[in-house]
Amino acid sequence: MTTQILNKPLEEISSDALIVFAFQKEKGNKSEYVPTRAFTHINNVLHDQLKKAASFEKFTGEKGSLFSLFTNDDILASKIICIGLGKKEDVTVDDFRQNIGKYVSLSHKKIDSLTISIPENIQDSEVLMHAAIEGVELATYGFAKYKEKKVTDRQFQSLILVTEDKITEKKVNDIIENAQYYSHATQLARDLVNEQPSVATPTFLAELAKDIAQSSDQVSVKIFDKPQLEKMGMHAFLGIARASDTPPKFIFLEYTPKNYKGKEKIALVGKGITFDSGGVNVKPGDHMSDMKMDMAGAALVLGVFSVIAKIKPSIPVMGVIAATPNLISSSAIVPGDVVKAYNGKTIEVLNTDAEGRVTLADSLSYAVEQGATHIIDFATLTGACIVALGEDIAGLFVNDKEFGDSIKKSADITGEKMWELPLEKSYKKMNDSDVADIANIPNTRWAGTISAALFLEEFIGKTKWAHLDIAGPAFASRNSALGPKGGTGYGVRTVLQLLEGEKI
């Protein structure tokens, strides 16, 4: 898809469809709407046709409402799409992104080119342009590798954004490139999640990490294999990996900015279970069918690193992934086994299906040892989190308010939903073990997402830390405005947004 940003009269731009926006009236007559300047302009060019259509359609500018109109020779676009954004003061960047995504996902089969007029005075227009490009890029994503027809039907040829701002060519290029980095990194994470587990193996992820490091001198990678991991003492991770003939890989990526003088160093830790069968505590079939998605945290980290040298964060960033499937064999770890994690703590594995936290114990200890001042881990950790927050919202845990606020602020811009849950100290005893320092499952049915987070907390020492349980939003069971069902690439854009900010 080619993307352009133009400052030129809307009627002079040729495309299959032109989107203009309108708002809902704040008060008073509910049936009226508030036009944007683009709406008014096009209405004038079309001799009041747009207004007539709006009144015929009983258009109120309500959020998500839409009508369309075929045009005549007065304007080069074949069709006008008018989208309501709701009340002007309430419109968020994500409403804007979602509305564009929704239209694109409904119409991509019918049109090849789209023009979007960027509305004035709602948000910074650069932010809106970024969101518009993301909306189109994400909505047109598809995974068709294994289909007879190799291309997805979600394709699109050309996107033109029209602004009234005087904008330099450099700025235009920056906005387009930046939005594409965010989108392509998300699409890579989706591809990795959607790929079949016999292809997206630990070795496959490690090779990808090497390719990423190859392509920039600011990114380096270390891959640790089983013999090295044994020497290092990563016995928690190796315990889970033991059942499988597929070699485990511990992936450590590092991005180093030029001329960094500060002390901060952020680690992104991703759960990398390339397939979760549950182990000998085998999952029932209907719970297992989507479990190729159990490496979505790892996919997020790789997605971020695939563009990190372009985004150029000012602080150093590490990426940590312990990649292995969780399988069943005669050499598998079994309930009652005790493993010693990298930081020396012992874990009694009472349920082999709570494997994520066991592998993360080593990943987090390693990030701490490597001098991370801030850690965020991303893990499809508990089904309980989906019970609590549903499929669209991640569970967030933080041990540092300021760090948590920065993450939430970034997520507000990207529209990736998260909700904070407590690291309740009095619940720590849920993870008590009779024989080891900690057990990998709680001794109660309740608060399974919190007890999992409290387990992880044992491995992060005093480091500032945030844990995102992404079991829900990492994988969609339904198509949505911003992508088809399957891997969503959740979290990639929020992390990039966070890393681009002045402060973490």
Catalytic residues: 283, 357
Q: How far is the CB of 158 from ligand BES (least distance, A)?
A: 37
If phi > 0 it is left, if psi is from -120 to 50 it is alpha, else beta; for residue 429 that is: alpha
Which one of Mg ion, ligand BES, Zn ion, none is in contact with 418 (Cβ closer than 5 to 8 A by kind)?
Answer: none
Phi, psi of 226 (to 5 degrees): -50, -50
Closest residue by Cα to residue 475 from 343, 386, 399, 374? 386
Interacting residue with Zn ion among 101, 197, 356, 448 (CB under 5 A): 356
Binding mask 258-277 for Mg ion (x = CB under 5 A): ------------------x-
- Strands 33-35 vs 158-162: parallel, antiparallel or unpaired: unpaired
Structure tokens at 417: 């939903």
Nearer to ligand BES, 441 or 482 (CB): 441
Q: Which three-class secondary structure state does DSSP give residue 398?
A: strand
> CB neighbours of 334 closer than 8 A, spacing ≥ 6?
280, 349, 352
DSSP 285-310: HHHHTTGGGGGHHHHHHHHHHHHHHH
Interacting residue with Mg ion among 95, 353, 362, 458 (CB under 5 A): 353
Nearer to Zn ion, 254 or 294 (CB): 294
User: Is residue 213 within 8 Å of 253, Cβ to Cβ?
Assistant: yes
User: Is residue 378 within 8 Å of 275, Cβ to Cβ?
Assistant: no
348 lies in the site for Mg ion, by CB under 5 A: no
Nearer to ligand BES, 351 or 480 (CB): 351
Stretch that binds Mg ion, among 14-22, 212-220, 351-359, 383-391 (CB under 5 A): 351-359
> CB neighbours of 467 closer than 8 A, spacing ≥ 6?
376, 377, 379, 396, 397, 398, 453, 456, 457
Residue 173, number of CB atoms within 10 A of its CB: 11
Nearer to ligand BES, 15 or 277 (CB): 277
Closest residue by Cα to residue 270 from 20, 491, 42, 501? 491
Nearer to ligand BES, 115 or 352 (CB): 352
How far apart CA 129 and CA 83 sit, in angstroms, is 16
How far apart CA 2 and CA 328 sit, in angstroms, is 47
User: Is residue 404 within 8 Å of 420, Cβ to Cβ?
Assistant: yes
Which one of Mg ion, ligand BES, Zn ion, none is in contact with 384 (Cβ closer than 5 to 8 A by kind)?
Answer: ligand BES
Which one of ligand BES, Zn ion, Mg ion, none is in contact with 188 (Cβ closer than 5 to 8 A by kind)?
Answer: none
Which one of Mg ion, ligand BES, Zn ion, none is in contact with 483 (Cβ closer than 5 to 8 A by kind)?
Answer: none
Nearer to Mg ion, 377 or 416 (CB): 377
If phi > 0 it is left, if psi is from -120 to 50 it is alpha, else beta; for residue 491 that is: left
CA 332, distance to chain mean position in Å, is 32
Which one of ligand BES, Mg ion, Zn ion, none is in contact with 351 (Cβ closer than 5 to 8 A by kind)?
Answer: ligand BES
Nearer to ligand BES, 180 or 326 (CB): 326
CB-count exposure of residue 241 (10 Å: 0-12, 13-18, 19+):
buried
Phi, psi of 229 (to 5 degrees): -65, -35
Nearer to Mg ion, 348 or 355 (CB): 355
Q: Which of residues 259-318 bind Zn ion (CB under 5 A)?
A: 273, 276, 294
Which one of Zn ion, Mg ion, ligand BES, none is in contact with 172 (Cβ closer than 5 to 8 A by kind)?
Answer: none
Instruction: Please give the residue ranges that form the binding site for ligand BES (CB under 6 A).
Output: 276, 294, 351, 353-356, 380-384, 386, 441, 448, 471
Q: How far is the CB of 299 from ligand BES (least distance, A)?
A: 13
Q: How far is the CB of 342 from Zn ion (least distance, A)?
A: 19
Which one of Zn ion, Mg ion, ligand BES, none is in contact with 304 (Cβ closer than 5 to 8 A by kind)?
Answer: none
Q: How far is the CB of 355 from Zn ion (least distance, A)?
A: 6
Q: Give the C-alpha distances (Å, rounded to integers) separating 462 from 28, 368, 371.
A: 55, 9, 11
Structure tokens at 292: 């190729």
How many residues bind Mg ion, per CB under 5 A? 3
Binding mask 275-314 for Mg ion (x = CB under 5 A): -x--------------------------------------
Q: How far is the CB of 433 from ligand BES (least distance, A)?
A: 14
Structure tokens at 315: 């602080």
Q: How far is the CB of 225 from ligand BES (least distance, A)?
A: 24
Structure tokens at 237: 């991770």
126 lies in the site for Zn ion, by CB under 5 A: no
Which one of Zn ion, ligand BES, Mg ion, none is in contact with 243 (Cβ closer than 5 to 8 A by kind)?
Answer: none
User: Is residue 208 within 8 Å of 189, Cβ to Cβ?
Assistant: no
User: Is residue 452 within 8 Å of 357, Cβ to Cβ?
Assistant: yes
377 lies in the site for Zn ion, by CB under 5 A: no
Q: How far is the CB of 383 from Zn ion (least distance, A)?
A: 9
Q: How far is the CB of 298 from Mg ion (least distance, A)?
A: 15
Nearer to Zn ion, 84 or 248 (CB): 248
**For the chain, how far is it from start to end, CA to CA, in angstroms?**
33
Which one of Mg ion, ligand BES, Zn ion, none is in contact with 383 (Cβ closer than 5 to 8 A by kind)?
Answer: ligand BES
Q: How far is the CB of 356 from Zn ion (least distance, A)?
A: 4
Ranked by CB distance to ligand BES, the top (closest) residue is: 383
Mapping DSSP onto H, E and C, the string for 420-431 reads ECCCCHHHHHHH
| Residue ranges in contact with Zn ion by CB under 5 A | 273, 276, 294, 356
| Residue ranges in contact with Mg ion by CB under 5 A | 276, 353, 355
